[in-house]
Structure formats: structure tokens, C-alpha cells
Chain A
């Protein structure tokens, strides 16, 4: 565990950034004399934030969004990692699958939203589907490149040390060797998934941070919109910090 002083030192820059943003925000409100429905002062937004925390409403939205992202992301990893391992290891299989991947990859997950609504309605399945697509490619591509960059001499060493089947070689050598790259893919994909869930919820949802923002817009409560945005930012940073800890565990330096 990090000593508290070090943790404080790593949080400090974020604190400065937050103060900077609040000051600029307040200045904009003062100088443009913005209507409260368009841009509320930071203090009002903070009050709304505190209110939503106190009533627990914020946690319901956060929980809904996080739950969707986590379940879709896990699902995506369960498919993308084995597929990526196979593509990275067997050239012929990669040649077969890669063109399909390359055709789908440039299509933004947001472009799938209409189809997702048509196919699955506005329930959970559609959102899971969108996040699945958003998280799938970063995991897949990182897994493939992780496997491909495994030093061939480590594979040979594994073979002369008793990994005689492909399965043993995967489990004991290829997977652990590719792990740091796979973890990077998992981290990136969580970010893309987190960005996409908001979009998916903006369009069709009854709960979630995206819904909170969309609802705020419709009832002209920009303080709600801002609370939603702030929550997204804070959670994004927090989740990334967790991933960095995991990352440190799985990288072996050099």
C-alpha cells in the first residue's frame, strides 16, 4: 500500500484542476450573467449534488450506469480475450477473422444505438449490446498484439520445460506474457464503455447518469446536467486509478 503522503501528492494535482475549473465556471457565470436554467453557479450545482447524494438518488444513477458498463465489459472480455489469443497465435485464423474485425471497427458504437433500440427496445439488453461493441475492439486488439509480441524464445523455453500441448503453453507462458498488454486493453475499453453508456442512456433510459443529464435538459435544470457531468468525471478518474493499481501488479517492469 502507498503511504498516505504519497496518495495525497497524487491527488493534489486533481484538486488544483478542480479549483481552476470552478473559478473559471464562476467567472463565466458572473461575466455573462447567464440564466440559471442555462448555467447555474457552482454553488447551486454543489447544493444539488449534495441533495442528490443525501437522498441517495445519485447512487441509484451511478449504480445503474456502472452496473451496465461492468456487465457488458465482462461479457466483452470473455469473448474478446479468447478470440484475441487465438488470432494472435494462429496466423491463418487471424487472416480469416481480421477483415471482419476491420470492417466493424470503424463503426462508432453510437451508430449502433438506433439498431439496438429497434432490436432490443429501450431495456437493459440494448445498452449492454452498445457497451459490448464499445469495449470489444480495444480488448481484442490489445490481446492480439500482446500475444504477437510474446518473445518467441519464451515460447521455446516453455516447450523445453514441459509445456508440450498448446493448452499448457497458453496457460503457463502466452497468457501471462501477454497479460500486461491485455490489462491495458481492459483499461482502455472501460473508458470507451464508460463514454458510450452515457450516450446510450441519453437516448433511451429511465435511470442512469445519462438519463439524469437528458432529464435535466428536458426540464431545464442545468444544475442536474452539471451534477451528472461532474459525477462522470470523478468516476472516470477513480476507475482509471483502480486500473493503474491493477496495471502495476501485472507489469513486471522492462
Chain B
């Protein structure tokens, strides 16, 4: 991997009064996302946190082009998002690797779609596999890999196509705590070398503060932005430092209010202690 400092393909995201309401057949409409606005600068790492069902995944799916917003609009580098596009990369929670292809052809999949010749795309794929430390696994079948390795392949796959934004939907949610720590570290390393705009959905406040330049806390359903917190700490960030703890406190305070609402909605007592 070359440590590029040259300008690379990365774009900002503008969200203007964007809202999503689902109308399931034969029942009342459900407002998943209350009209929300947000500006994301090129190269920013945004973490979206919030209680389950707060619409953070909905927002991500709008940005990916899978869902059309009911109101408002979202722009990537000034262009409206209309449909899924190779320029808007995505990493899924359950990896979404193609099991009929081996590791290297998974990473090269998008490159082939971009029209790159076989030798060239294999070179590029190998380069990105090396970046995630899986160069020796290029010819393995996907099902021979552990969950953590699969997600590293997925990360190599998305960075290899050089998209202008990368969307990550709880990418480490299915992994054990140690693997998760390792992958957080590795992702951060890659992001520091490839300053892509990243929107990262997570349930973990710690993960959000460790990775992101800005943490956005969403309210309980219908979701909207509750807190937009810049994290002003140098990398690598220390989980145990006082500053880290301060950010955790700020975010948990906001999040707890929303969690209490969620519990109430689900028939709980509305009591929540950290």
C-alpha cells in the first residue's frame, strides 16, 4: 500500500430535511426517520448511535440508495442519490461476501464491474488484501474464513473500488469483543491512509468515540438528530483516559434519555440507571 496523501476520491454528504415514512400494506404509516438535516465534510468519519429502531440503519439505506426518502433529499458531492452505485460503498453486518467466489475474486468483484482487466484487478485486490493482512488467504474459499476475516475481506473489497463514501452498517456487531478491538484498530489504520468519508452505524458508544471524528446520537423512533458531538482527541485513542471517559459521559447522558423512552414504549418502567 502506498501512503497516498494526494487527493483521492472522497466526497461530502448533505442531508436536507430528509425523512422516511414506511406504509406497510393495510396498516398505519410508521415514521422511521423524522425530517433531519446534516452536513458531512469530505473525509470525515461519522458514527451514528441510537437505540434500536431509531432509524439509523434507515438513514444509511437511504444514503446507499436502497430506500427512497419520503421527504427531503440527500446529496453526495452535490449529486442527489437515486440508486445504489459503486461510488457509494457499503460494508454489511453479515459480511455479504459471495460464497461461490474465492477471497481474491470477492475483492476484485467491483473492479471487474468497473471494467478492469483480470491481471490488473488481481494485482489491486492483492494489494488491498495485504492491507487487511490477508494476502496469504487470496485463494481460500470464503467459508473457510472466520467471521473477523470475512469482514476484513469485505473491508478490502469496499476500499479497493475507491468509492467516494463508505457506509458501514454495524460492521463489527456480530464479532466477539477481541476480534472487534482488532478490527477497529485496523479500520482506523486504513482510514487514516485512505481518508474516505465514512458513515458508521454502531450500538457501541465506546466504538463510536474510538473511531469517529463526529458522533451523532439519534433519538428513539421516530429518529432525528439529538446530539452532534465532535470528538477532538488524537488517534490512537485510549479507552481508559479521562478525556475518553468525558465523551462517553456526554453521549451516554443523551442516549440514556432515549433508551428510557424506548423501554417505556416497549412496556418497561422507564427507569434506567447506568
A-to-B contact residues, CB < 8 Å: 151, 153-154, 156-157, 159-164, 168, 172-173, 176-177, 179, 250, 252-254
* Contact in complex: B100, A156 (CB < 8 Å): no
The 10 A-B residue pairs with the shortest CB-CB distance in the complex, in nearest-first order: A162-B113, A159-B84, A157-B96, A162-B86, A161-B110, A252-B99, A153-B96, A160-B90, A176-B100, A254-B143
* Contact in complex: A161, B86 (CB < 8 Å): yes
Residues from chain B with Cβ under 8 Å of A176 in the complex: 98, 100-101
Residues from chain A with Cβ under 8 Å of B142 in the complex: 252
Residues from chain A with Cβ under 8 Å of B141 in the complex: 252-253
B46 CB-CB contact with A under 8 Å: no
Q: How far is the CA of A159 from the CA of B92 in the complex (A)?
A: 13
B114 CB-CB contact with A under 8 Å: yes
The residue in B65, B97, B113 that gathers the most chain A C-beta atoms within 10 A of its C-beta is: B113
B-to-A contact residues, CB < 8 Å: 64-66, 83-86, 88-90, 92, 94, 96-101, 109-110, 112-114, 141-143, 157, 161
Total A-B Cβ pairs within 8 A: 68
* Contact in complex: B96, A252 (CB < 8 Å): no
Nearest CB in chain A: distance from B216 CB, A = 22
* 26 examples of A-B residue contacts, CB within 8 angstroms: A151-B96, A153-B96, A156-B64, A156-B66, A156-B92, A157-B90, A159-B65, A159-B66, A159-B83, A160-B85, A160-B86, A160-B89, A161-B86, A161-B109, A161-B110, A161-B113, A162-B114, A164-B83, A164-B85, A164-B86, A176-B100, A177-B99, A177-B100, A252-B99, A253-B141, A254-B143
Selected contact of B94 from candidates A153, A161, A163, CB within 8 Å: A153
A252-B142, A254-B143 as given contacts; A156 in contact with B83, CB under 8 Å? no
Nearest CB in chain A: distance from B34 CB, A = 25
Residues from chain B with Cβ under 8 Å of A173 in the complex: 98
* Contact in complex: B113, A163 (CB < 8 Å): yes
* Contact in complex: A160, B84 (CB < 8 Å): yes
Nearest CB in chain B: distance from A112 CB, A = 37
Residues from chain B with Cβ under 8 Å of A161 in the complex: 86, 109-110, 113, 157, 161
